[in-house]
Protein backbone atom coordinates (compact mmCIF):
# COMPACT_ATOMS: atom_id res chain seq x y z
CA UNK A 1 0.00 0.00 0.00
CA UNK A 2 1.35 3.40 -0.97
CA UNK A 3 0.65 6.53 1.04
CA UNK A 4 1.21 10.23 0.56
CA UNK A 5 4.34 11.63 2.19
CA UNK A 6 2.64 14.77 3.50
CA UNK A 7 -0.97 13.68 4.04
CA UNK A 8 -0.69 10.16 5.41
CA UNK A 9 -3.83 10.14 7.54
CA UNK A 10 -3.93 6.35 7.89
CA UNK A 11 -0.55 6.20 9.62
CA UNK A 12 -1.16 9.22 11.86
CA UNK A 13 -4.54 7.84 12.91
CA UNK A 14 -3.06 4.49 13.92
CA UNK A 15 -0.07 6.17 15.58
CA UNK A 16 -2.34 8.28 17.78
CA UNK A 17 -4.52 5.32 18.74
CA UNK A 18 -3.77 4.18 22.30
CA UNK A 19 -4.96 0.64 21.54
CA UNK A 20 -2.26 0.22 18.88
CA UNK A 21 0.41 1.88 21.02
CA UNK A 22 -0.10 -0.64 23.83
CA UNK A 23 0.06 -3.74 21.63
CA UNK A 24 3.16 -5.88 21.80
CA UNK A 25 2.84 -7.03 18.21
CA UNK A 26 2.07 -5.60 14.80
CA UNK A 27 -1.69 -6.05 14.30
CA UNK A 28 -3.30 -6.79 10.99
CA UNK A 29 -5.11 -3.75 9.63
CA UNK A 30 -8.08 -4.16 7.33
CA UNK A 31 -9.19 -1.36 5.01
CA UNK A 32 -12.82 -1.60 3.93
CA UNK A 33 -14.41 0.54 1.26
CA UNK A 34 -17.44 2.36 2.66
CA UNK A 35 -20.25 2.17 0.08
CA UNK A 36 -21.88 5.35 -1.18
CA UNK A 37 -25.55 4.61 -0.58
CA UNK A 38 -26.92 7.90 -1.96
CA UNK A 39 -29.66 7.63 -4.54
CA UNK A 40 -29.30 9.41 -7.87
CA UNK A 41 -31.21 12.56 -6.90
CA UNK A 42 -28.98 13.05 -3.86
CA UNK A 43 -26.01 13.42 -6.24
CA UNK A 44 -27.47 16.57 -7.80
CA UNK A 45 -28.29 20.14 -6.79
CA UNK A 46 -32.03 20.76 -6.65
CA UNK A 47 -34.43 23.60 -5.90
CA UNK A 48 -37.47 23.51 -3.63
CA UNK A 49 -40.62 24.58 -5.45
CA UNK A 50 -43.74 25.32 -3.36
CA UNK A 51 -47.36 25.78 -4.42
CA UNK A 52 -49.36 27.74 -1.84
CA UNK A 53 -52.46 25.80 -0.81
CA UNK A 54 -54.46 29.05 -0.86
CA UNK A 55 -53.33 30.19 -4.32
CA UNK A 56 -55.90 31.36 -6.85
CA UNK A 57 -56.28 30.49 -9.60
CA UNK A 58 -55.42 26.93 -8.67
CA UNK A 59 -51.83 26.18 -9.78
CA UNK A 60 -50.60 22.91 -11.19
CA UNK A 61 -47.50 20.95 -10.22
CA UNK A 62 -44.25 21.55 -12.11
CA UNK A 63 -43.81 19.68 -15.38
CA UNK A 64 -40.52 18.47 -16.81
CA UNK A 65 -39.29 20.54 -19.73
CA UNK A 66 -41.01 23.75 -18.63
CA UNK A 67 -38.84 26.89 -18.57
CA UNK A 68 -38.26 29.03 -15.47
CA UNK A 69 -38.76 32.79 -15.62
CA UNK A 70 -39.33 35.50 -13.00
CA UNK A 71 -43.00 36.10 -12.39
CA UNK A 72 -44.30 38.80 -14.73
CA UNK A 73 -47.01 41.37 -14.24
CA UNK A 74 -49.11 43.65 -16.43
CA UNK A 75 -46.42 46.31 -16.32
CA UNK A 76 -43.25 44.29 -15.96
CA UNK A 77 -41.92 41.24 -17.80
CA UNK A 78 -38.50 40.36 -16.35
CA UNK A 79 -36.38 37.60 -17.88
CA UNK A 80 -33.34 35.63 -16.93
CA UNK A 81 -30.13 36.04 -18.90
CA UNK A 82 -30.00 32.28 -19.48
CA UNK A 83 -32.62 29.67 -20.28
CA UNK A 84 -33.33 27.28 -17.38
CA UNK A 85 -35.66 24.31 -17.73
CA UNK A 86 -37.01 21.62 -15.42
CA UNK A 87 -35.24 18.33 -16.02
CA UNK A 88 -36.68 16.26 -13.17
CA UNK A 89 -39.39 16.64 -10.50
CA UNK A 90 -39.67 14.82 -7.17
CA UNK A 91 -42.96 15.24 -5.30
CA UNK A 92 -42.25 15.61 -1.58
CA UNK A 93 -45.78 16.62 -0.54
CA UNK A 94 -48.91 16.53 -2.67
CA UNK A 95 -50.77 19.77 -3.33
CA UNK A 96 -54.29 19.81 -1.86
CA UNK A 97 -56.32 22.97 -2.32
CA UNK A 98 -56.89 24.72 1.00
CA UNK A 99 -55.23 21.93 2.99
CA UNK A 100 -51.55 21.34 2.22
CA UNK A 101 -48.91 23.16 0.21
CA UNK A 102 -47.45 21.29 -2.70
CA UNK A 103 -43.73 20.76 -2.12
CA UNK A 104 -41.57 19.64 -5.03
CA UNK A 105 -37.83 19.28 -5.54
CA UNK A 106 -36.87 20.15 -9.11
CA UNK A 107 -33.63 19.60 -10.98
CA UNK A 108 -32.95 22.39 -13.46
CA UNK A 109 -30.47 22.54 -16.34
CA UNK A 110 -29.20 25.34 -18.50
CA UNK A 111 -30.12 25.47 -22.18
CA UNK A 112 -27.83 28.39 -23.04
CA UNK A 113 -24.60 26.64 -24.00
CA UNK A 114 -23.40 28.19 -27.25
CA UNK A 115 -20.38 27.53 -29.53
CA UNK A 116 -17.80 30.32 -29.46
CA UNK A 117 -17.27 30.35 -33.22
CA UNK A 118 -19.04 33.22 -34.94
CA UNK A 119 -20.61 30.82 -37.43
CA UNK A 120 -22.76 29.15 -34.77
CA UNK A 121 -22.74 31.48 -31.75
CA UNK A 122 -26.43 32.18 -32.26
CA UNK A 123 -27.30 28.55 -31.39
CA UNK A 124 -28.04 27.66 -27.75
CA UNK A 125 -28.04 24.06 -26.55
CA UNK A 126 -28.71 22.21 -23.32
CA UNK A 127 -26.04 20.85 -21.03
CA UNK A 128 -25.24 17.20 -21.64
CA UNK A 129 -28.10 15.43 -19.89
CA UNK A 130 -26.31 12.07 -19.77
CA UNK A 131 -23.77 13.72 -17.42
CA UNK A 132 -26.32 14.99 -14.91
CA UNK A 133 -24.97 12.53 -12.30
CA UNK A 134 -21.22 13.13 -11.83
CA UNK A 135 -19.15 10.05 -12.67
CA UNK A 136 -18.28 8.19 -9.47
CA UNK A 137 -14.90 6.83 -8.41
CA UNK A 138 -15.45 4.10 -5.82
CA UNK A 139 -11.88 4.31 -4.51
CA UNK A 140 -11.77 8.12 -4.33
CA UNK A 141 -15.36 9.26 -3.70
CA UNK A 142 -16.17 12.97 -3.74
CA UNK A 143 -19.36 13.94 -1.92
CA UNK A 144 -19.61 17.39 -3.53
CA UNK A 145 -17.90 17.53 -6.95
CA UNK A 146 -16.86 20.93 -8.29
CA UNK A 147 -18.98 22.74 -10.84
CA UNK A 148 -18.44 21.69 -14.45
CA UNK A 149 -17.96 24.02 -17.40
CA UNK A 150 -20.28 22.96 -20.23
CA UNK A 151 -18.87 23.78 -23.67
CA UNK A 152 -20.59 23.45 -27.04
CA UNK A 153 -18.50 21.87 -29.77
CA UNK A 154 -17.49 24.23 -32.59
CA UNK A 155 -17.52 21.52 -35.26
CA UNK A 156 -20.31 19.09 -34.38
CA UNK A 157 -23.30 21.37 -34.04
CA UNK A 158 -25.42 20.45 -31.04
CA UNK A 159 -22.71 18.46 -29.24
CA UNK A 160 -22.08 19.69 -25.66
CA UNK A 161 -19.27 18.39 -23.48
CA UNK A 162 -18.81 18.48 -19.71
CA UNK A 163 -15.32 19.91 -19.06
CA UNK A 164 -13.10 21.50 -16.44
CA UNK A 165 -12.97 24.77 -18.39
CA UNK A 166 -9.17 24.75 -18.59
CA UNK A 167 -7.54 27.24 -20.96
CA UNK A 168 -6.66 27.11 -23.77
CA UNK A 169 -7.94 23.53 -24.17
CA UNK A 170 -10.67 22.34 -21.80
CA UNK A 171 -10.46 18.73 -20.64
CA UNK A 172 -13.58 16.61 -20.68
CA UNK A 173 -14.31 15.60 -17.08
CA UNK A 174 -17.54 13.77 -16.34
CA UNK A 175 -16.77 13.70 -12.59
CA UNK A 176 -17.75 17.38 -12.35
CA UNK A 177 -21.30 18.52 -11.63
CA UNK A 178 -23.44 20.20 -14.29
CA UNK A 179 -26.27 20.75 -11.79
CA UNK A 180 -23.88 22.70 -9.58
CA UNK A 181 -22.87 24.72 -12.64
CA UNK A 182 -26.53 25.52 -13.36
CA UNK A 183 -27.18 26.33 -9.71
CA UNK A 184 -24.37 28.87 -9.66
CA UNK A 185 -25.70 30.46 -12.87
CA UNK A 186 -29.15 30.73 -11.34
CA UNK A 187 -27.91 32.16 -8.03
CA UNK A 188 -25.93 34.81 -9.92
CA UNK A 189 -28.94 36.00 -11.93
CA UNK A 190 -29.45 39.72 -11.32
CA UNK A 191 -33.23 39.29 -11.39
CA UNK A 192 -32.96 37.08 -8.30
CA UNK A 193 -30.80 39.62 -6.40
CA UNK A 194 -29.46 37.04 -3.97
CA UNK A 195 -26.05 38.59 -3.29
CA UNK A 196 -24.34 35.33 -4.14
CA UNK A 197 -20.79 35.08 -5.44
CA UNK A 198 -18.75 32.05 -6.40
CA UNK A 199 -15.83 33.46 -4.37
CA UNK A 200 -17.53 33.21 -0.98
CA UNK A 201 -19.93 30.45 -2.10
CA UNK A 202 -22.37 31.45 0.64
CA UNK A 203 -26.09 32.01 0.54
CA UNK A 204 -27.89 33.47 3.57
CA UNK A 205 -24.59 32.99 5.44
CA UNK A 206 -24.66 29.27 4.66
CA UNK A 207 -22.00 27.58 2.53
CA UNK A 208 -23.58 26.14 -0.59
CA UNK A 209 -22.37 22.57 -0.54
CA UNK A 210 -23.65 19.01 -0.26
CA UNK A 211 -25.26 18.30 3.11
CA UNK A 212 -26.55 15.23 4.96
CA UNK A 213 -30.11 14.54 6.03
CA UNK A 214 -33.62 14.65 4.64
CA UNK A 215 -34.43 17.17 1.90
CA UNK A 216 -36.43 19.33 4.29
CA UNK A 217 -33.61 19.29 6.86
CA UNK A 218 -30.71 20.17 4.59
CA UNK A 219 -32.33 22.85 2.41
CA UNK A 220 -30.62 26.26 2.16
CA UNK A 221 -32.89 29.34 1.89
CA UNK A 222 -32.24 31.47 -1.20
CA UNK A 223 -33.22 34.72 0.49
CA UNK A 224 -34.21 35.81 4.00
CA UNK A 225 -36.39 38.62 5.28
CA UNK A 226 -35.05 40.93 8.03
CA UNK A 227 -36.75 38.69 10.61
CA UNK A 228 -34.89 35.65 9.14
CA UNK A 229 -38.06 34.21 7.63
CA UNK A 230 -37.74 32.78 4.13
CA UNK A 231 -38.39 35.24 1.29
CA UNK A 232 -39.33 32.99 -1.65
CA UNK A 233 -38.50 33.87 -5.25
CA UNK A 234 -41.58 34.46 -7.34
CA UNK A 235 -41.14 32.08 -10.28
CA UNK A 236 -43.42 31.03 -13.09
CA UNK A 237 -43.04 28.02 -15.34
CA UNK A 238 -43.61 28.48 -19.06
CA UNK A 239 -44.37 25.82 -21.60
CA UNK A 240 -41.46 24.85 -23.81
CA UNK A 241 -41.45 24.91 -27.60
CA UNK A 242 -42.08 21.50 -29.11
CA UNK A 243 -41.65 20.19 -32.66
CA UNK A 244 -43.49 16.97 -33.49
CA UNK A 245 -43.03 14.88 -36.62
CA UNK A 246 -43.62 11.24 -37.55
CA UNK A 247 -42.89 8.89 -40.41
CA UNK A 248 -39.95 10.94 -41.68
CA UNK A 249 -37.20 9.40 -43.84
CA UNK A 250 -33.65 10.68 -43.48
CA UNK A 251 -31.30 10.13 -46.43
CA UNK A 252 -27.55 10.42 -45.80
CA UNK A 253 -27.88 13.49 -43.58
CA UNK A 254 -24.73 15.46 -42.92
CA UNK A 255 -23.17 14.75 -46.34
CA UNK A 256 -22.82 17.21 -49.21
CA UNK A 257 -23.95 20.82 -49.58
CA UNK A 258 -27.61 19.97 -50.09
CA UNK A 259 -27.53 18.53 -53.59
CA UNK A 260 -29.07 15.06 -53.34
CA UNK A 261 -26.61 13.55 -55.83
CA UNK A 262 -23.60 14.66 -53.78
CA UNK A 263 -25.02 12.97 -50.72
CA UNK A 264 -24.59 9.43 -52.03
CA UNK A 265 -22.06 7.39 -50.02
CA UNK A 266 -19.95 6.77 -53.13
CA UNK A 267 -18.96 10.45 -53.15
CA UNK A 268 -18.16 10.69 -49.40
CA UNK A 269 -14.87 10.44 -47.54
CA UNK A 270 -16.21 10.50 -43.98
CA UNK A 271 -18.52 8.25 -41.97
CA UNK A 272 -20.61 9.94 -39.32
CA UNK A 273 -20.66 8.60 -35.78
CA UNK A 274 -24.03 7.59 -34.28
CA UNK A 275 -24.00 10.78 -32.23
CA UNK A 276 -23.38 12.89 -35.34
CA UNK A 277 -26.20 11.09 -37.14
CA UNK A 278 -28.60 11.86 -34.30
CA UNK A 279 -27.60 15.53 -34.13
CA UNK A 280 -27.83 15.94 -37.89
CA UNK A 281 -31.43 14.77 -37.75
CA UNK A 282 -32.60 16.86 -34.81
CA UNK A 283 -31.30 19.77 -32.75
CA UNK A 284 -32.88 20.86 -29.48
CA UNK A 285 -32.29 24.58 -28.96
CA UNK A 286 -32.94 26.77 -25.92
CA UNK A 287 -34.92 24.09 -24.02
CA UNK A 288 -37.07 23.31 -27.05
CA UNK A 289 -38.04 19.69 -27.69
CA UNK A 290 -38.10 17.89 -31.02
CA UNK A 291 -40.08 14.66 -30.75
CA UNK A 292 -40.15 12.63 -33.92
CA UNK A 293 -40.18 9.18 -35.41
CA UNK A 294 -38.36 8.31 -38.60
CA UNK A 295 -36.05 5.95 -40.44
CA UNK A 296 -32.53 6.78 -41.59
CA UNK A 297 -30.69 5.50 -44.66
CA UNK A 298 -29.61 2.34 -42.74
CA UNK A 299 -33.18 1.45 -41.82
CA UNK A 300 -32.73 2.35 -38.16
CA UNK A 301 -35.98 3.50 -36.58
CA UNK A 302 -35.80 6.60 -34.39
CA UNK A 303 -38.64 7.04 -31.87
CA UNK A 304 -38.03 9.86 -29.41
CA UNK A 305 -34.86 8.93 -27.54
CA UNK A 306 -34.87 5.33 -28.79
CA UNK A 307 -33.08 3.84 -31.78
CA UNK A 308 -34.20 0.39 -32.99
CA UNK A 309 -31.76 -1.65 -35.09
CA UNK A 310 -33.58 -3.17 -38.12
CA UNK A 311 -31.48 -6.36 -38.09
CA UNK A 312 -31.14 -7.32 -34.43
CA UNK A 313 -34.10 -5.43 -33.03
CA UNK A 314 -31.84 -4.10 -30.28
CA UNK A 315 -33.11 -0.88 -28.70
CA UNK A 316 -30.60 1.84 -27.80
CA UNK A 317 -31.59 4.78 -25.57
CA UNK A 318 -30.06 8.19 -26.19
CA UNK A 319 -29.81 11.19 -23.84
CA UNK A 320 -30.84 9.17 -20.79
CA UNK A 321 -28.99 10.13 -17.60
CA UNK A 322 -27.27 7.40 -15.67
CA UNK A 323 -24.55 7.14 -13.05
CA UNK A 324 -21.21 6.03 -14.50
CA UNK A 325 -18.53 4.47 -12.30
CA UNK A 326 -14.91 5.05 -13.25
CA UNK A 327 -13.21 1.85 -14.29
CA UNK A 328 -16.59 0.28 -14.98
CA UNK A 329 -17.46 2.12 -18.18
CA UNK A 330 -20.38 0.63 -19.98
CA UNK A 331 -22.08 -0.27 -16.72
CA UNK A 332 -25.63 1.02 -16.62
CA UNK A 333 -26.74 2.47 -13.28
CA UNK A 334 -30.32 3.67 -13.23
CA UNK A 335 -32.95 4.44 -10.60
CA UNK A 336 -36.27 2.57 -10.60
CA UNK A 337 -39.21 3.15 -8.29
CA UNK A 338 -39.90 -0.59 -8.37
CA UNK A 339 -38.34 -3.56 -10.13
CA UNK A 340 -40.07 -6.95 -10.43
CA UNK A 341 -38.21 -9.97 -11.84
CA UNK A 342 -40.18 -13.09 -12.69
CA UNK A 343 -37.17 -15.39 -12.88
CA UNK A 344 -33.87 -14.65 -11.16
CA UNK A 345 -31.30 -11.94 -10.45
CA UNK A 346 -27.57 -12.59 -10.94
CA UNK A 347 -24.99 -10.06 -9.70
CA UNK A 348 -21.47 -10.63 -11.02
CA UNK A 349 -19.82 -7.94 -8.91
CA UNK A 350 -17.51 -6.65 -11.64
CA UNK A 351 -14.60 -8.37 -13.34
CA UNK A 352 -12.98 -9.17 -9.98
CA UNK A 353 -16.27 -10.19 -8.28
CA UNK A 354 -15.51 -7.62 -5.58
CA UNK A 355 -18.03 -4.85 -6.33
CA UNK A 356 -20.44 -4.43 -3.45
CA UNK A 357 -24.22 -4.27 -3.94
CA UNK A 358 -25.90 -1.82 -1.54
CA UNK A 359 -29.45 -2.01 -0.17
CA UNK A 360 -30.22 1.20 1.72
CA UNK A 361 -33.67 0.11 2.86
CA UNK A 362 -35.21 -3.02 4.40
CA UNK A 363 -34.98 -6.22 2.34
CA UNK A 364 -37.33 -9.18 2.75
CA UNK A 365 -36.41 -12.69 1.62
CA UNK A 366 -39.39 -15.05 1.74
CA UNK A 367 -37.36 -18.19 1.14
CA UNK A 368 -34.04 -19.67 2.21
CA UNK A 369 -30.90 -17.53 1.88
CA UNK A 370 -27.69 -19.43 1.11
CA UNK A 371 -24.14 -18.06 1.28
CA UNK A 372 -20.92 -19.81 0.27
CA UNK A 373 -18.88 -17.15 2.11
CA UNK A 374 -19.23 -15.14 5.30
CA UNK A 375 -22.33 -13.16 6.26
CA UNK A 376 -21.59 -9.88 8.02
CA UNK A 377 -24.12 -7.88 10.04
CA UNK A 378 -24.22 -5.39 12.91
CA UNK A 379 -27.17 -7.22 14.45
CA UNK A 380 -29.21 -10.37 13.83
CA UNK A 381 -32.88 -10.38 14.80
CA UNK A 382 -34.91 -13.58 14.91
CA UNK A 383 -38.70 -13.40 14.65
CA UNK A 384 -41.64 -15.73 14.08
CA UNK A 385 -43.93 -15.82 11.06
CA UNK A 386 -46.03 -12.79 12.02
CA UNK A 387 -42.93 -10.60 12.43
CA UNK A 388 -42.99 -10.46 16.23
CA UNK A 389 -39.44 -9.91 17.47
CA UNK A 390 -38.30 -12.84 19.57
CA UNK A 391 -34.53 -12.61 19.92
CA UNK A 392 -31.72 -10.38 18.70
CA UNK A 393 -27.96 -10.88 18.65
CA UNK A 394 -25.44 -8.04 18.40
CA UNK A 395 -22.10 -6.67 19.63
CA UNK A 396 -21.17 -4.13 22.30
CA UNK A 397 -18.15 -2.98 24.27
CA UNK A 398 -17.81 -3.74 27.98
CA UNK A 399 -18.31 -1.04 30.59
CA UNK A 400 -17.94 -1.93 34.27
CA UNK A 401 -18.72 -5.57 33.57
CA UNK A 402 -21.86 -4.84 31.55
CA UNK A 403 -22.53 -4.15 27.86
CA UNK A 404 -22.12 -0.47 26.97
CA UNK A 405 -25.54 0.26 25.43
CA UNK A 406 -27.75 3.28 24.92
CA UNK A 407 -30.12 3.62 27.86
CA UNK A 408 -33.05 4.25 25.51
CA UNK A 409 -32.84 0.85 23.78
CA UNK A 410 -35.37 -1.90 24.49
CA UNK A 411 -34.53 -5.59 24.78
CA UNK A 412 -36.33 -8.91 25.14
CA UNK A 413 -35.44 -11.70 27.52
CA UNK A 414 -33.08 -14.04 25.71
CA UNK A 415 -31.32 -11.33 23.68
CA UNK A 416 -27.61 -12.04 23.33
CA UNK A 417 -24.87 -9.42 23.29
CA UNK A 418 -21.31 -10.46 22.40
CA UNK A 419 -18.42 -8.68 24.11
CA UNK A 420 -16.22 -6.74 21.66
CA UNK A 421 -13.55 -6.44 24.40
CA UNK A 422 -13.48 -10.19 25.01
CA UNK A 423 -10.18 -11.78 26.12
CA UNK A 424 -9.42 -15.51 26.52
CA UNK A 425 -10.76 -16.86 29.79
CA UNK A 426 -13.53 -14.29 30.02
CA UNK A 427 -17.20 -14.71 29.17
CA UNK A 428 -18.15 -14.35 25.51
CA UNK A 429 -20.88 -11.85 26.33
CA UNK A 430 -24.19 -11.38 28.10
CA UNK A 431 -27.72 -12.70 27.90
CA UNK A 432 -30.68 -10.47 28.83
CA UNK A 433 -33.40 -11.50 31.25
CA UNK A 434 -36.07 -9.33 32.89
CA UNK A 435 -34.06 -6.11 32.88
CA UNK A 436 -30.66 -7.59 33.77
CA UNK A 437 -27.70 -8.61 31.62
CA UNK A 438 -26.04 -11.86 32.78
CA UNK A 439 -22.66 -13.10 31.59
CA UNK A 440 -22.62 -16.28 29.54
CA UNK A 441 -20.19 -18.41 27.57
CA UNK A 442 -17.10 -19.14 29.68
CA UNK A 443 -14.16 -19.36 27.30
CA UNK A 444 -10.74 -21.07 27.37
CA UNK A 445 -12.27 -24.34 28.64
CA UNK A 446 -9.59 -26.62 27.19
CA UNK A 447 -8.94 -28.43 30.57
CA UNK A 448 -12.64 -29.40 30.81
CA UNK A 449 -13.61 -32.65 29.07
CA UNK A 450 -16.65 -34.89 29.20
CA UNK A 451 -17.73 -38.37 28.20
CA UNK A 452 -20.87 -40.43 28.42
CA UNK A 453 -20.94 -43.68 30.37
CA UNK A 454 -24.14 -45.77 30.29
CA UNK A 455 -26.23 -42.71 29.43
CA UNK A 456 -24.65 -40.45 32.07
CA UNK A 457 -22.22 -37.66 31.22
CA UNK A 458 -19.19 -37.49 33.50
CA UNK A 459 -16.66 -34.65 33.52
CA UNK A 460 -12.98 -34.16 34.04
CA UNK A 461 -10.94 -31.03 34.79
CA UNK A 462 -7.32 -31.49 33.92
CA UNK A 463 -7.82 -35.21 33.52
CA UNK A 464 -10.02 -37.60 31.60
CA UNK A 465 -13.39 -38.56 33.12
CA UNK A 466 -14.15 -42.15 33.95
CA UNK A 467 -17.24 -44.24 34.57
CA UNK A 468 -16.85 -44.28 38.37
CA UNK A 469 -16.81 -40.56 39.10
CA UNK A 470 -19.18 -37.80 38.02
CA UNK A 471 -16.31 -35.28 38.28
CA UNK A 472 -12.57 -35.81 38.40
CA UNK A 473 -10.15 -32.93 39.06
CA UNK A 474 -6.40 -32.92 38.61
CA UNK A 475 -4.73 -30.30 40.81
CA UNK A 476 -5.69 -28.28 43.85
CA UNK A 477 -9.26 -27.09 44.34
CA UNK A 478 -10.20 -24.09 46.47
CA UNK A 479 -13.65 -23.49 47.95
CA UNK A 480 -14.48 -20.21 49.65
CA UNK A 481 -17.53 -21.40 51.56
CA UNK A 482 -19.14 -24.47 53.03
CA UNK A 483 -19.19 -27.90 51.40
CA UNK A 484 -22.20 -30.13 52.00
CA UNK A 485 -21.55 -33.82 51.44
CA UNK A 486 -24.35 -36.37 51.50
CA UNK A 487 -22.09 -39.30 50.64
CA UNK A 488 -18.73 -40.48 51.86
CA UNK A 489 -15.87 -38.06 51.86
CA UNK A 490 -13.90 -40.56 49.83
CA UNK A 491 -10.34 -39.87 51.05
CA UNK A 492 -9.46 -43.43 51.99
CA UNK A 493 -6.40 -43.56 49.77
CA UNK A 494 -5.06 -40.16 50.87
CA UNK A 495 -3.56 -41.34 54.16
CA UNK A 496 -1.19 -44.19 54.87
CA UNK A 497 -1.42 -44.51 58.64
CA UNK A 498 -3.99 -43.26 61.08
CA UNK A 499 -6.93 -43.28 58.67
CA UNK A 500 -5.23 -45.18 55.87
CA UNK A 501 -6.95 -47.74 53.73
CA UNK A 502 -4.75 -50.40 55.37
CA UNK A 503 -6.52 -49.73 58.65
CA UNK A 504 -10.01 -49.81 57.18
CA UNK A 505 -10.43 -46.10 57.79
CA UNK A 506 -10.87 -46.92 61.49
CA UNK A 507 -7.87 -44.99 62.67
CA UNK A 508 -4.77 -46.41 64.32
CA UNK A 509 -4.16 -47.59 67.91
CA UNK A 510 -0.95 -47.40 69.90
CA UNK A 511 -0.02 -48.67 73.42
CA UNK A 512 1.76 -46.46 75.94
CA UNK A 513 4.90 -47.55 77.79
CA UNK A 514 5.38 -44.57 80.13
CA UNK A 515 8.25 -43.10 78.10
CA UNK A 516 7.29 -42.94 74.38
CA UNK A 517 6.08 -39.40 73.59
CA UNK A 518 5.51 -39.52 69.78
CA UNK A 519 3.14 -41.62 67.65
CA UNK A 520 3.16 -41.63 63.83
CA UNK A 521 0.50 -40.10 61.55
CA UNK A 522 0.26 -39.15 57.84
CA UNK A 523 2.14 -36.03 56.75
CA UNK A 524 0.55 -32.58 56.44
CA UNK A 525 -1.46 -32.43 59.66
CA UNK A 526 -1.67 -29.95 62.53
CA UNK A 527 -2.79 -30.54 66.10
CA UNK A 528 -6.30 -29.46 65.04
CA UNK A 529 -6.70 -31.87 62.07
CA UNK A 530 -6.38 -35.05 64.13
CA UNK A 531 -8.53 -36.50 66.91
CA UNK A 532 -6.55 -38.12 69.76
CA UNK A 533 -8.17 -40.33 72.43
CA UNK A 534 -6.35 -41.63 75.55
CA UNK A 535 -8.16 -44.62 77.04
CA UNK A 536 -11.26 -43.39 75.21
CA UNK A 537 -11.01 -39.83 76.53
CA UNK A 538 -10.54 -37.04 73.92
CA UNK A 539 -7.34 -35.05 74.36
CA UNK A 540 -7.15 -31.28 73.96
CA UNK A 541 -4.91 -30.11 71.04
CA UNK A 542 -2.22 -27.69 72.14
CA UNK A 543 -2.73 -28.68 75.80
CA UNK A 544 -2.39 -32.44 75.98
CA UNK A 545 -0.58 -32.89 72.69
CA UNK A 546 0.72 -31.19 69.59
CA UNK A 547 1.74 -32.31 66.10
CA UNK A 548 5.38 -32.16 65.10
CA UNK A 549 6.20 -33.26 61.57
CA UNK A 550 4.49 -36.61 60.97
CA UNK A 551 3.84 -37.49 64.66
CA UNK A 552 1.46 -36.70 67.50
CA UNK A 553 3.74 -35.35 70.26
CA UNK A 554 2.82 -35.66 73.99
CA UNK A 555 5.99 -33.88 75.17
CA UNK A 556 4.05 -30.77 76.17
CA UNK A 557 2.20 -32.83 78.80
CA UNK A 558 2.59 -36.28 80.44
CA UNK A 559 3.48 -39.15 78.11
CA UNK A 560 1.03 -42.08 78.05
CA UNK A 561 1.60 -44.52 80.90
CA UNK A 562 2.23 -48.20 80.53
CA UNK A 563 -1.01 -49.92 79.53
CA UNK A 564 -2.66 -46.72 78.19
CA UNK A 565 -4.38 -47.01 74.78
CA UNK A 566 -3.78 -44.14 72.32
CA UNK A 567 -6.38 -43.97 69.47
CA UNK A 568 -5.72 -41.46 66.62
CA UNK A 569 -8.09 -40.55 63.75
CA UNK A 570 -7.01 -38.17 61.00
CA UNK A 571 -9.49 -35.62 59.68
CA UNK A 572 -9.70 -34.69 56.00
CA UNK A 573 -7.35 -31.90 55.04
What proportion of the chain, given as a percentage, has pLDDT over 70?
86
Least confident of 319-333, 364-378, 458-472: 319-333
Q: Would you state the pLDDT for residue 175? A: 92
Give how far Cα 36 sits from Cα of 25, 54, 281, 322, 363, Å.
34, 40, 39, 16, 18
Give 527 or 4, the one with higher predicted confidence: 527
Model's pTM, two decimal places?
0.59
Position 102 pLDDT exceeds 90: yes
Whose CA is closest to 46, among 101, 79, 7, 91? Answer: 91
Least confident of 7-11, 158-162, 322-326: 7-11
Question: Distance between alpha carbon 182 and the CA centroid of its chain, in Å?
Answer: 32
β-sheet bridge partners, residue 218: none
Whose CA is closest to 17, among 6, 5, 29? Answer: 29
Q: Would you state the pLDDT for residue 24? A: 58
Q: How far apart are CA 372 and CA 2, in angstroms?
A: 32
Least confident of 168-182, 372-386, 400-414, 537-551: 372-386
**With bands split at pLDDT 50, 70 and 90, how would you rate the model's confidence at 335?**
low
- Name the most confidently modeled range: 157-171, 310-324, 494-508: 157-171
Q: What average pLDDT score do residues 322-345 get?
A: 75
Beta strand segments in 275-357, E: 289-295, 301-303, 306-308, 315-317
Whether 444 contacts 425, CB under 8 Å: yes
Position 213 pLDDT exceeds 60: yes
Q: What average pLDDT score do residues 534-559 get?
A: 93
Task: Show Cβ contacts of residue 181 under 8 Å, excluding neighbours closer than 6 positions.
Answer: 110, 127, 147, 148, 149, 150
Classify burial at 568, counting beta carbons within 10 Å of its beta carbon; exposed 0-12, middle 13-18, buried 19 or more.
buried
Q: Would you state the pLDDT for residue 488? A: 60
Whether the CA torsion 62, 64, 69, 73 is positive or negative: it is negative
Q: Would you state the pLDDT for residue 26? A: 57
- Name the most confidently modeled range: 87-96, 202-211, 285-294, 324-333: 87-96
Q: What average pLDDT score do residues 387-395 get?
A: 86
* Mean pLDDT, all residues of the chain: 85
Q: How far apart are CA 158 and CA 319, in angstroms?
A: 13
Amino acid sequence: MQVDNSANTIYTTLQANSLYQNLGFTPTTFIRRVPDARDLTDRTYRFRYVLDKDSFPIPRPPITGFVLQPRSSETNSPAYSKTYYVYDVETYQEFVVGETDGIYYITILSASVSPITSNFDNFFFSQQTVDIYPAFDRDNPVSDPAAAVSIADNQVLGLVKTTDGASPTPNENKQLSITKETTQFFLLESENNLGYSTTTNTLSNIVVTARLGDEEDRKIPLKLNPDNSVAPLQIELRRYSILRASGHTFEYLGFGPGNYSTAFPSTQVEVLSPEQVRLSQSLKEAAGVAYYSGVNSDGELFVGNQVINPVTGQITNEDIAQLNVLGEEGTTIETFSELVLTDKLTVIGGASNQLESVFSGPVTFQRKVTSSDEIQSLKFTFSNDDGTVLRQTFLAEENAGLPDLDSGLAFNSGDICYNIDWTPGQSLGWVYDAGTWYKFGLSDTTPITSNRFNGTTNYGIGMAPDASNRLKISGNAYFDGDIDVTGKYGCADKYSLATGIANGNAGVTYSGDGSTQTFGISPGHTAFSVMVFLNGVAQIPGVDYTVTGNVVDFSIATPPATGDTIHIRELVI
